[in-house]
């Protein structure tokens, strides 16, 4: 209640309401406070092992909130059971022109067209070298650089995987952001087959005589059931360890009347309006794979009840982002306590 009535109001007014500047300021503050995180001790709650990785609890930080891994210790101290950094690309890039991040307050949603702004894979690897491993599992989301043609996407992903391999507990192959031209075409069968064939081979090579680190595929909520079915077939053919469902949506369904003026902004929508569709996709994937393919469920989780419904749909793990912005750190604790 304190977060929503005091802290959130102050944050949303900061910098004249510029959502991206507030995001950057908050990350800087969390980064500065990170040394204190080592004094926080949290007992595991809901511990589970998924795709060979032990998670102290099933609630993770979704990719996009801490793209460059600036505040890793802080996330664990806030109760997250795992962290996903990125999406990171082979080449550092500034992303799309500002403004590119918009709050739809009445709908508890966000539209973003960030465009994978990040410091690049090598810089992230250097930062992780300096910080050392976080207290909870670390996932790394990999994407395609904007300057790289779609036809050369495999080499781009492979370079990032090689640079960051020693740091990640799992790697997410992001082929579903709507904000990089041509990226979603990598969800098509032929392109995805080529991409996953090359990436799984690289993962085996990097593992040497050990077990390859898990590769997961992150899909869009806007795919039809038949398209998702094709993605699942390709994933099965190449031994993909899991699926992340879902990314942001291009749809604008379920927005509150007060937010319709922003509906025309380009970019992906996240938050409460995405919840039902994200659960539908998770339920479909779980049914099509007989529950054998682990799923990280993400999209519209803003309460403990939302989390339970996502788990009931078939998710093994959860991720939050927009819900964290609107509900604050207490959301993590409420979900962990309930599951």
- Active site positions, annotated: 177
Q: Does 76 carry a binding-site annotation?
A: no
Sign of CA pseudo-dihedral 148, 151, 153, 158:
negative
- Going by the DSSP 8-state scheme, the letter that residue 66 receives in this structure is T
Q: Does 141 carry a binding-site annotation?
A: yes
Q: Does 26 carry a binding-site annotation?
A: no
Cβ count near 152 (within 10 Å):
11
Q: Which two tokens stand for residue 282?
A: 């998770």
User: Angle CA(177)–CA(181)–CA(185) in degrees, nearest 5?
Assistant: 70
Q: Does 116 carry a binding-site annotation?
A: yes
- DSSP H stretches of helix in the chain: 2, 8-13, 19-33, 72-77, 121-131, 153-164, 189-207, 225-237, 275-288, 304-313, 322-327, 330-338
Q: Does 4 carry a binding-site annotation?
A: no
Q: Does 286 carry a binding-site annotation?
A: no
Q: Does 125 carry a binding-site annotation?
A: no
Q: Does 126 carry a binding-site annotation?
A: no
Q: Does 247 carry a binding-site annotation?
A: yes
Q: Does 330 carry a binding-site annotation?
A: no
Q: Which two tokens stand for residue 132?
A: 């050392």
Q: Does 174 carry a binding-site annotation?
A: yes
Q: Does 300 carry a binding-site annotation?
A: yes
Q: Does 248 carry a binding-site annotation?
A: yes
Q: Which of these, 172, 82, 171, 88, lies nearest to 134 by C-alpha position? A: 82
- Whole-angstrom distance, CA of residue 263 vs CA of residue 329: 28
Q: Does 224 carry a binding-site annotation?
A: no
Q: Does 242 carry a binding-site annotation?
A: no
Q: Which two tokens stand for residue 204?
A: 């085996």
Q: Does 112 carry a binding-site annotation?
A: yes
Q: Does 60 carry a binding-site annotation?
A: no
CA distances from 315 to 24, 83, 241, 272 (A): 31, 17, 14, 18
The shares of helix, strand and coil residues in the chain, as percent rounded to the nearest 5, are: 45, 15, 35
- Whole-angstrom distance, CA of residue 221 vs CA of residue 39: 39
- Whole-angstrom distance, CA of residue 12 vs CA of residue 103: 9
Residues annotated in a binding site: 63-67, 87, 112-116, 141, 174, 179, 218, 246-248, 271, 300, 321-322
Residues annotated in a binding site for FMN: 63-67, 87, 141, 174, 218, 246, 271, 300, 321-322
Residues annotated in a binding site for substrate: 67, 112-116, 174, 179, 247-248
């Amino acid at each position: 209640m304190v977060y929503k009535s005091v802290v959130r109001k102050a944050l949303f007014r900061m910098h004249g309401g510029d959502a991206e500047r507030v995001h950057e300021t908050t990350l800087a503050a969390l980064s500065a406070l990170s040394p204190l995180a080592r004094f926080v001790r949290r007992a595991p709650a809901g511990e589970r092992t998924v795709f060979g990785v032990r998670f102290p609890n099933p609630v993770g930080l979704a990719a996009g909130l801490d793209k460059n891994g600036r505040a890793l210790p802080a996330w664990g101290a806030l109760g997250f059971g795992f962290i996903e950094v990125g999406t990171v690309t082979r080449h550092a890039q500034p992303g799309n022109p500002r403004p590119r991040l918009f709050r739809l307050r009445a709908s508890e949603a966000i539209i973003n067209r960030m465009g994978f702004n990040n410091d690049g894979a090598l810089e992230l690897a250097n930062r992780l070298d300096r910080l050392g491993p976080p207290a909870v599992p670390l996932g790394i989301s990999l994407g395609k650089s904007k300057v790289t043609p779609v036809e050369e996407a495999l080499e781009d992903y492979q370079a990032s995987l090689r640079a960051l391999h020693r740091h990640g507990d799992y790697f997410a192959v992001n082929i579903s952001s709507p904000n990089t031209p041509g990226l979603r075409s990598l969800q098509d069968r032929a392109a995805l087959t080529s991409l996953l064939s090359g990436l799984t081979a690289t993962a085996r090579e990097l593992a040497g005589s050990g077990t390859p680190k898990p590769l997961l595929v992150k899909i869009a909520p806007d795919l039809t059931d038949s398209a998702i079915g094709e993605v699942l077939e390709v994933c099965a053919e190449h031994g993909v360890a899991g699926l992340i469902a879902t990314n942001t949506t291009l749809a604008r369904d379920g927005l509150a009347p007060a937010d319709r003026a922003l509906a025309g902004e380009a970019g992906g929508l996240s938050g409460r309006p995405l919840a039902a569709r994200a659960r539908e996709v998770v339920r479909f994937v779980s049914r099509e794979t007989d529950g054998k393919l682990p799923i990280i469920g993400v999209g519209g989780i803003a309460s403990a009840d939302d989390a339970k419904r996502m788990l009931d749909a078939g998710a093994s793990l959860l991720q939050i982002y927009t819900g964290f912005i609107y509900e604050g750190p207490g959301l993590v604790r409420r979900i962990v306590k309930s599951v």
